[in-house]
Structure 1
Amino acid sequence: MNKRKANVFENLKEDVYQANMPEKEKQKILKNIMNLRDKKINIMITGATGCGKSSTINALFDMEIAKVGVGVDPETMNITKYELDNLILWDSPGLGDGKEADNRHARNIIKKLQEKDFSGHALIDLVLVILDGSTRDLGTSYELINSVIIPNLGRDKENRILVAINQCDVAMKGRYWNKEENKPEPPLVKFLEEKVQSVRRRIKEGTGVDIEPIYYSAGWKEEGEKQNPYNLSKLLYFIIQHTPKEKRLVYVNNLSRDTSVWRYNDNKKDYVHLIKKSFAETVSEYATQGAQIGKSIGSVFGKTGETIGGAIGGVVGGVVGAFKSWFS
């Protein structure tokens, strides 16, 4: 049986009920919490065959609770739908298995990108395009990005697409990957940084859209052996940054509880702290909107802070006090 940690929205409500504030303010905040709870995120995940979409999804999210289905439209039934509470993942088939199949998959992707939600907005909030870092032949991926996805994103294209280069550990046929420390050595870092810039430049030249690709490894498990992910926290941070702020709390309940997957990252930023901070900012800005708290927000949402930290806990140790400090 899958034992889940406390739901962040349940903790928000509990914190408000126990807070020392006027009943009118409590009801206002509780109404805001209900609005946040009802938000949904729709993410499409796509890429060429063999890029590692499934391993990325499994590493990022708690797939034990996922409900699996397919598109209700017969024309898009080959796009797999995973529902994790209000987080909905649309996993499109990989491209590169033949012209006829690729054309069919491209039509299905375009159809899904043009779909609207009940409010008339685009259904898909974010498209995560995964590239295979182990190959130099990215022609199929560029065709997917430049000719299929970006032309059908509508407005705000830069914030609705994220390009991530997976399998960075085998980008140079496994050379210069430090297995003991689970990180790239300087020659591989240089190679990967150049690859990032090359991808960025090719997309800019083809579409006029300036994006910021990242590289990572989703890790692997086979025959009793395991390699932990690398830069997965960075990938999650970028996903969150590309998500409308009022929808970000949806991730908290659905992240992988395997603490090892978040541990290994580059040292450019403290991604774990920034992830927690992003969640906390949503609570600060939206849960308390229109309410007069009259005290530190953190002093009200103590239990919620523990849950938010626990979502990616074990990476940097205890986080009970961290949530409060952001709102002092």
Structure 2
Amino acid sequence: MTYNTNNMEFVTKMEHDIEASGLPDAVKHKLLANLLLLKSKKVNLLITGATGCGKSSTINALFNADVSKVGVGVDPETMEIEKYELGNLVLWDSPGLGDGKEADNRHAKNLTAKLLERDADGNPLIDLVLVILDGSSRDMGTSFELISNVIVPNLGEDKSRILVAINQADMAMKGRGWDRVNNRPEPALEQFLQEKVESVRRRIKESTGVDVEPIYYSAGYKDGDAPQRPYNLTKLLYQIVHYTPKEKRTIYANNINRDREMWKDDDELKDYRNSILDDIVESISDCAETGAEIGESLGGLFGSAGRTVGRVAGRVVGGAFGAVKSIAKSFFGGLFGW
């Protein structure tokens, strides 16, 4: 089933702007050829984690898709893995382990089948696996078992297709150390979370030989009439976009949550907003032959209106950076309807 979203709006606008530009025909043809390929692409994102880790709240926060309303299907080959389609973005919501031996065996079998599934071109169907850990729990043994015994062994050669994120950072010390006014961890909690990230990274490396870069975040929640905004959601989105195959990153453009409140609070260690833009632009221009650097005010994407986000770096053919800049200004600047 399909959720009614106009996923091709971004690509359609880009096509129009390129056609209307004064670029040489050869340049137009190359960029339009890239866009034509994008129309046939799908991103398949598999999300798994133990019960209560916050998979649904994470999906809703990132993609503005209330999973109770999104078109839902069940894969006939892997029963119990729910499928949500948002245009060309396909989300697979799979139970993790921890529901009892019989259920765990069934979940492991279903996950293995999905990870081994191939698309029409013979490539792995799943582009990326997001494993969500419960940051409020000290016992992550079942999640490590899931990663070590099920996910990593079935990723094939490309082990970079796994992301690990620790949700509910605000509850990591049972609610202590969380600055609710500024929606961020206080120093003691921040150190605790960094130590947890390092512990998770080290444990996965020791058991699988795979290097991961776990992050901590909070998907947010609504407590009565008082919602708590997410924290580090932009960082999580950056990792998802960055580790998606380059030729598919643009697919996220129309599915990003347009509520600006969702993207306000991050750890400020990196300009994740600008990095997301870099990666999405690279999705269009990756096959180009020459380089260009674009610096432009993008109308405050992920921030206050008119904010200068900074450079959007893209490899483009000849003068095609002008078209990319135009689209960035007109589309991304209003991505959240500001």
Confirm or deny a common fold (TM above 0.5): yes
The CA deviation at 1:301 is 4.5
The CA deviation at 1:18 is 1.0
- Taking CA–CA contacts closer than 8 Å with sequence separation of 6 or more, which of the two structures ends up with the larger relative contact order? 1
Structure 2: distance between partners of 1:119 and 1:127: 20
Structure 1: distance between partners of 2:318 and 2:44: 36
Contact 1:7 1:307 in 2 (8 A): no
Moved more, 134-143 or 273-282: 273-282
- Equivalent residue for 1:171? 172
The CA deviation string for residues 300-325 of structure 1, in whole angstroms up to 9 with x for no partner, is 550344313433676xxxxxxxxxxx
Contact 1:217 1:231 in 2 (8 A): yes
Counterpart of 1:130 (choices 125, 129, 132) is 132
Structure 2: distance between partners of 1:164 and 1:95: 16
The CA deviation at 1:160 is 0.4
The CA deviation string for residues 169-218 of structure 1, in whole angstroms up to 9 with x for no partner, is 00000001000000000000000000001101111111111111000000
Letter in 1 for 2:73: G
Instruction: Give unmatched runs, 5+ long, in structure 1.
Output: 315-328
Structure 1 segments (4+ residues) deviating >6 Å: 2-6, 289-292
Higher helix share: 1
Q: CA RMSD in A?
A: 2.2
Instruction: Give unmatched runs, 5+ long, in structure 2.
Output: 291-314
- Equivalent residue for 1:209? 210
- Equivalent residue for 1:250? 251
* Number of equivalent positions: 309
Contact 2:289 2:317 in 1 (8 A): no
Structure 1: distance between partners of 2:5 and 2:114: 34
- Equivalent residue for 1:101? 103
What secondary structure sits across from 1:147 in the alignment?
Answer: helix
Structure 2: distance between partners of 1:297 and 1:224: 45
- Equivalent residue for 1:317? none
Q: Superposition pairs for residues 177-216 of structure 1, below 5 Å?
A: 177-216=178-217
Letter in 2 for 1:132: D
Which TM-score applies when normalising by structure 2? Answer: 0.86
The CA deviation at 1:54 is 0.4
Structure 1: distance between partners of 2:116 and 2:5: 37
Q: Superposition pairs for residues 1-328 of structure 1, below 5 Å?
A: 7-63=9-65, 66-73=70-77, 76-157=78-159, 159-286=160-287, 288=288, 294-295=318-319, 297-299=321-323, 301-311=325-335
Moved more, 102-111 or 276-285: 276-285
Contact 1:16 1:301 in 2 (8 A): no
- Equivalent residue for 2:306? none
Which TM-score applies when normalising by structure 1? Answer: 0.88
Contact 2:96 2:143 in 1 (8 A): no
What secondary structure sits across from 2:331 in the alignment?
Answer: helix
